[in-house]
Amino acid sequence: MQVESRIERIEETQPERAAGSFRCPIEDLLDDLHERLGRLDDGGLPTYIPELADVDPSLFGIAVATVDGAVYEAGDSRVGFTLQSVSKPLTYALALDVLGAEAVGTRIGVEPSGDAFNSIALAPETGIPSNAMVNAGAIAASSLVAGAAPFAAVLDAYGGFAGRGLEVDEAVFESERATGHRNRAIAHLLRTFGVIGDPDVAVERYFRQCAVLVDCRDLALVGATLANGGVHPLTGAAAVRPEVVRQVLSVMASCGMYDGAGAWMSAVGLPAKSGVSGGILAVLPGRLAVACYSPLLDGHGNSVRGAAVCRELSERFGLHLVRPGERQASPIRSAVDLTAVRSKRVRTLEEREALAELGSRAVVVELQGDLGFEAVEQLNRLVRAAGRLEALVLDLGRVARIDPGGHVLLGELVASLRDAAVDVRLAGLGTVPDGASLTASLGGASSTDLAVEACETTLVERAGIGTPVTETELAEHPFLARLTELDRAAVIRHLVPRRYAAGATIARQGARADDLFVVTRGLVNVVDDSEPDAPRRAATVPAGGVFGEIGIALGGRRTATVLADTDVDVHVLDRRGLAALRQGHPRAYAAVLEELLTGLALTATRLDREVAALTAG
């Protein structure tokens, strides 16, 4: 019950207080921060916007949201406050998204100014605002967006970041409109230098966006959306494009905390934005966001308690963007050769012997994480160290991202290996973002298993073994070949021949399993289709092979469906036939058991080796 309620809680991302003895350490942590840092009472309320001077200075809320949409809260996390300057990165994002970085770049720079947020100045070299985080740049961004969209669209876009519809606090808006002469001066300066059009329209829009109401939970989700490349973790909707997010977070990192930005970046190390109402948002890209609200401000206009929360979380949990000496997980998850792993295709004795001898010349490499410079560099080293290589399978199913440079570099490595007659096969790209473009340029198998099978075939062919048998006489079938003539004849008397056309179902998953199938013509596929959308090949058995060993040994239900891949001839021994053989011809019965045992032992050995190879080191 408790487990269930936890799961629901994560799904709803509405952390209620933990029930009974099961406490949540994250909530405890935030409660503790709230309790201790709530005792800080330095700083003061802003007085230049009268409505903001009129709030309870003891208010203090904290929320943390992850990129997968869990939200943890403490204190006054549901008390509303106006965004003020925290709106600046959002409008800047909107301007970049709608007008593009180039057009925006002609009006707003990306350099830290080192000045206070409300400085009445433009960058001397360019004549445009230094960046979009100071008021001059933010008013310019509001003006740019005003030329392209009504304010309702801005509010909608903000709602896209928060994941719910937002509103303007009219009282705060009016309060700033009545007193915001300094911002009007900035707007007129911008007008004088031709950065914006109508200064009144620009400040009106700017005051309105500053007065948008949020709470800490909203703000944490705004941050999680930025951390998540612009996609809201709960709604799944894209608020802006990932390139926009990169630029916005970069400018937040260098300019978000105004004249305290350098100290903030070196101590806390998170792109952040503060607002004069006491809100603060810090974003750790790809991971999480921290949002706080506490109205007492330091000399730079940043919330004293909010900044302290961010600083402590960053220090204690190593959230700083710069992580000296830290290494990423290896991009190579595993690398095993074909002496250790095999496809699900049942091979003849001759083929098995060839693979045992030559298997070390074919390697299956599983890559993970980013497919970029390091992945290709390590792969390159691995194939060079492998010595003589005939075949290479690259399983990319766990690659999270393919970067364009990595794509090119991998293409070059694959081309050079193929030039050197190495059979290179890619697999697992179906679920990888942008995997289709790699499949288009380098080819790709639908599964690693099929790629491994193809490489086995390459090795077998290069070993000079002819095309595999598609037909065998029953008497010469390997399953019976080692029996004496008398025993063989006794067994054959209990075998019932059956014929299937290509595509026919030979046995169905879930049906009773008590037959052993001896294949004398064609090819059958054993498919686990318990997940109909992702059928998985359990084995491919050619003429000369058998299947159903587990069924005849244990009875029960079939765990896989068996399909005729080509026209197929099989000879079936059922449990009744086996019992009759035991009765009438114990020696033949013992010989059959011995064959079954050998087959099962070979399978067990292969699986054992595979597990050991894949879990090693």
Q: Which residues are catalytic?
A: 85, 88, 206, 258, 276
State which of positions 191-220 bind ligand DON (CB under 6 A).
210
Query: For residues 91 and 118, which CB has a smaller minimum distance to ligand DON in the complex?
Result: 118
State which of positions 153-172 bind ligand DON (CB under 6 A).
none
Separation CA 263–CA 280 (nearest Å): 16
3-state secondary structure of 45: coil
Shortest Cβ distance from residue 277 to ligand DON (Å)? 7
Residue 276 contacts ligand DON per CB under 6 A: yes
| 474 closest CA partner among 486, 488, 487 | 488
| 402 closest CA partner among 354, 448, 451, 367 | 367
Residue 15 contacts ligand DON per CB under 6 A: no
Sequence-distant (6+) residues with CB within 8 A of 346 are 539, 540, 541, 542, 545, 547
Query: For residues 118 and 294, which CB has a smaller minimum distance to ligand DON in the complex?
Result: 118
Per DSSP (E only), the strands in 495-597 are 496-500, 505-507, 515-521, 523-528, 536-542, 546-547, 561-564, 568-574
Separation CA 183–CA 180 (nearest Å): 5
Query: For residues 297 and 367, which CB has a smaller minimum distance to ligand DON in the complex?
Result: 297
Per DSSP (E only), the strands in 151-304 are 167-168, 212-214, 272-274, 279-284, 288-293
Of 85, 247, 447, 448, the one binding ligand DON (CB under 6 A) is: 85
Of 75, 275, 435, 551, the one binding ligand DON (CB under 6 A) is: 275
Q: What residue is closest to ligand DON based on CB?
A: 85
Shortest Cβ distance from residue 237 to ligand DON (Å)? 27
Q: Determine the residue type at 163.
A: G
Of 135, 348, 447, 525, the one binding ligand DON (CB under 6 A) is: 135
From residue 245, how far is each of 98, 100, 242, 255 by CA, in Å? 13, 12, 5, 15
Answer yes or no: are the C-beta atoms of 246 and 230 closer than 8 Å. no
Shortest Cβ distance from residue 117 to ligand DON (Å)? 4
Stretch that binds ligand DON, among 223-231, 272-280, 529-537, 592-600 (CB under 6 A): 272-280
Dmax (CA) for the chain in angstroms is: 109
Query: For residues 276 and 563, which CB has a smaller minimum distance to ligand DON in the complex?
Result: 276
Residue 368 contacts ligand DON per CB under 6 A: no
Separation CA 65–CA 289 (nearest Å): 5
Residues near ligand DON (CB under 6 A), total: 12
Shortest Cβ distance from residue 208 to ligand DON (Å)? 10
Residue 183 contacts ligand DON per CB under 6 A: yes
Separation CA 222–CA 237 (nearest Å): 12
Shortest Cβ distance from residue 147 to ligand DON (Å)? 20
| 181 closest CA partner among 197, 200, 209 | 200
Stretch that binds ligand DON, among 141-149, 215-223, 274-282, 380-388 (CB under 6 A): 274-282
Burial class (CB in 10 A: 0-12, 13-18, 19+), 339: middle
* Placement of tokens 């503790």 in the chain: 32
Residue 542 contacts ligand DON per CB under 6 A: no
Stretch that binds ligand DON, among 268-276, 367-375, 404-412, 515-523 (CB under 6 A): 268-276
Residue 142 contacts ligand DON per CB under 6 A: no
Of 143, 274, 447, 509, the one binding ligand DON (CB under 6 A) is: 274
Q: Quick one: tokens of 497?
A: 């021949």
Shortest Cβ distance from residue 309 to ligand DON (Å)? 16
- Which 3-state string (H, E, C) describes 92-152? HHHHHHHHCHHHHHCCCCCCCCCCCCCCCCCCCCCCCCCCCCCHHHHHHHHHHHHCCCCHH
Stretch that binds ligand DON, among 234-242, 271-279, 495-503, 525-533 (CB under 6 A): 271-279
Query: For residues 212 and 568, which CB has a smaller minimum distance to ligand DON in the complex?
Result: 212
Which residues contribute to the site for ligand DON (CB under 6 A)?
84-85, 117-118, 135, 176, 183, 210, 274-276, 301
